[in-house]
Amino acid sequence: MTGPLLSVRDLRKVFNAQAGFGRPSAGVRAVDGISFDVEPGETLALVGESGCGKSTLGRLILQLIPASGGQVMFEGVDLVHLGTRPLREMRRRMQMVFQDPFGSLSPRRSVADIVAEPIDSFGLAPSRKARREMVADLLHQVGLPSSVMDRYPRQFSGGQRQRIGIARAIAAGPSFIVADEPVSALDVSVQAQVINLMQDLQESRGLTYLFIAHDLAVVRHIATRVAVMYLGRIVEIGPKARVYAAPHHPYTQALLSAAPNPDPDIPKRQIILTGDVPSPSNAPSGCAFHTRCPIAQARCRMEAPELRPVGGGHQAACHFATDHPIPVPS
């Protein structure tokens, strides 16, 4: 069967703010009707600023939090409507790498126990000896010597912990990994190690990544395709080269132009957005970006634009998307 590995359709998540006496308030639409596909072997990067819903989306896809509506088809199975037991079985095939290299490893468990967690959950090791060998092999794959097996997380640096987290994620042999800001908590000189490791593993194990990040330079390096999120929606999605060379949505343009470039000779042609990201609990009408958009018009306040193709598998959700592709300075 060929086709997308993952198909997300109209996925929604509404967080109900606690309003006393069991009466839910209006609710925060953290993820607001998102649809996209992920092809086997590719890296789809999800970028956006804090509060845009990208981490929530990653967790919804893995069903770590229940969806409020929509579909997540993974390897042909709709995860949203799956029972607890079959869903747990599916976790063998999809795993997660977390942002926080300190919090995501239990301080009371040895490296071997942490890495073997999926092995134990799915009973993949026939014996204790086989389990140790599997852990040693996994550690080796992430560039750690097997001698660290009986140590505890607190003895490791951020980068080493992130390697341990990656070893755990690949332990059950998944085809798909959601990586939630896996390098943003790491030092600059260690980021490259982890990025390279993730790329090596993708090649050697044929992994598919959903890579959640806010650093556009990291995304440019690792992604095959890029999806830009703003206030719970995807505003632009397309092949990396096209999105970076010719961003169609004014938000993408602003984001790219705001990202600092480590080169003093690049002229600053910044589009500086005014104002803050509106709170998702009080999202603007129409196009959610219209309050900060430099080209907003009356129509944008009334009518929410849908994603529409702008050529080459590239889509943007802007009423004026085709009218103003501005190339970023290169």
Partner 1 sequence: MTAAVEDRPLLRVDRLSVEFGGPAARLRVVDEVSFDIEAGETVGLVGESGSGKSITALSILRLVPEPPSHLAGGRVLLDGVDLTTLPRDQLPDIRGRDIAMIFQEPMSSLNPVQRIGDQVAEAILLHQKLDAASRRARVLDLLRLVGIPDPSRRIDAYPHQFSGGMRQRVMIAMALACNPRLLIADEPTTALDVTIQAQVLALLRDLKTEFGTAILLITHDLGVVAESCQRVVVMYAGRVVESGPVRAIFRNPSHPYTRALLQSIPRLDEERRRLHQIPGNVPPPGPLRAGCAFHTRCAERLLRCATDRPPMMQLGGGHQAACWLAGPMAQAPMAQAVTP
Partner 2 sequence: MSAVTERLDLLAPEPSRLAIVRMVILNRPSTIAAVCLILVFVAIATAAPLIAPYDPLAQSYIKINQSPSWEHWLGTDQFGRDVLSRMIYGSRNSLIIGVLAPLVAAIIGTTLGVVAGFFGGIIDRVISRLVDLLISFPELLLAIIIAAALGGGFWNIVIVLAAAFVPNFARVARAQTMAVRAEPYVEAAVASGVTQLRIIMRHIIPNIAAPIVVLMTLWTASAIRLEASLSFLGLGTQAPQPSWGNIIRDGLNNLFGSPWPVIGAGLAITSVVLAFNLLGDTIRDVLDPETSP
Using CB under 8 A as the criterion, which residues of the chain lie in contact with partner 2 when the complex forms?
Answer: 59, 62, 64, 88-89, 91-92, 95-96, 98, 100, 103-109, 117-118, 120-122, 140-145, 147-148, 150-152, 154-157, 160, 163, 165, 168, 171-172, 193, 197, 200
245 near partner 1, rule: CB under 8 A: no
Q: Which of 256, 287, 293, 296 binds partner 1 (CB under 8 A)?
A: 256
Answer for which of 261, 283, 304, 325 binds partner 1 (CB under 8 A) is 261
Backbone angles phi, psi at 64, to 5 degrees: -80, -20
Residue 155, classified by CB atoms within 10 Å of its CB into exposed (0-12), middle (13-18) or buried (19+), is: exposed
Partner touching 301 among partner 1, partner 2, none, CB below 5 to 8 Å by kind: none
Q: What is d(CA 79, CA 93) in angstroms, rounded to the nearest whole number?
A: 12
Which amino acid, 139? L
Segment near partner 1 (CB under 8 A), from 21-29, 117-125, 166-174, 186-194?
186-194
Amino acid present at 162: Q
Say how many C-beta atoms besides its own lie within 10 A of residue 265's C-beta: 5
Tokens matching residue 47: 């970028």
| Number of shown-chain residues binding partner 1 (CB under 8 A) | 47
Residue 98 and residue 173 in contact, taking contact as beta carbons nearer than 8 Å: no
Q: Verify binding: residue 92, partner 1, rule CB under 8 A.
A: no
The amino acid that residue 148 corresponds to is V
Rounded to the nearest 10°, the torsion over CA 56, 57, 59, 60 is 110
Residue 179: which of partner 1, partner 2, none does it interact with, CB under 5 to 8 A by kind?
A: none
Listed ranges 11-19, 124-132, 190-198, 314-322: which one lies at the site for partner 1 (CB under 8 A): 190-198
x/- letters, 104..143, toward partner 1 (CB under 8 A): ----------------------------------------
Q: Looking up tokens 């790329």, which residue turns up?
A: 199
Instruction: For partner 1, give the closer residue by CB, 67 or 318.
Output: 318
Q: With residue 315 as reference, give the H or E element that holds it.
A: strand 314-316
Alpha-carbon span 208 to 211, nearest angstrom: 9
H helix or E strand, kind and range, residue 105: none
Question: Residue 277 Cβ, how far from partner 1 at the closest point, in Å?
Answer: 7
Q: Which stretch binds partner 1 (CB under 8 A): 6-14, 20-28, 185-193, 310-318?
A: 185-193
Q: Which does 121 bind (CB under 5 to 8 A by kind): partner 2, partner 1, none?
A: partner 2
Starting at the edge strand that comes first in sequence, how are the strands of the sheet with 314-316 ordered? 94-97, 176-180, 208-213, 43-47, 225-230, 233-239, 314-316, 308-311
Q: Give the one entry of partner 2, partner 1, none that residue 263 binds, where binding means its C-beta sits below a cut-off of 5 to 8 angstroms depending on kind.
A: partner 1
Nearest to partner 1 of 37, 215 (CB atom): 215
Q: Does 260 bind partner 1 (CB under 8 A)?
A: yes
Q: CA-CA-CA-CA torsion for 287, 293, 296, 302, nearest 10 degrees?
A: 20
State how far the Cα of 134 lies from the Cα of 132, in Å rounded to an integer. 5
**Which of 85, 127, 262, 298 contacts partner 1 by CB under 8 A?**
262
Please report, as ranges, the residues that interact with partner 1 according to CB under 8 A. 49-50, 157, 159-160, 187-193, 195-196, 199, 214-218, 220-222, 244, 254-266, 268, 270, 272-277, 329-330
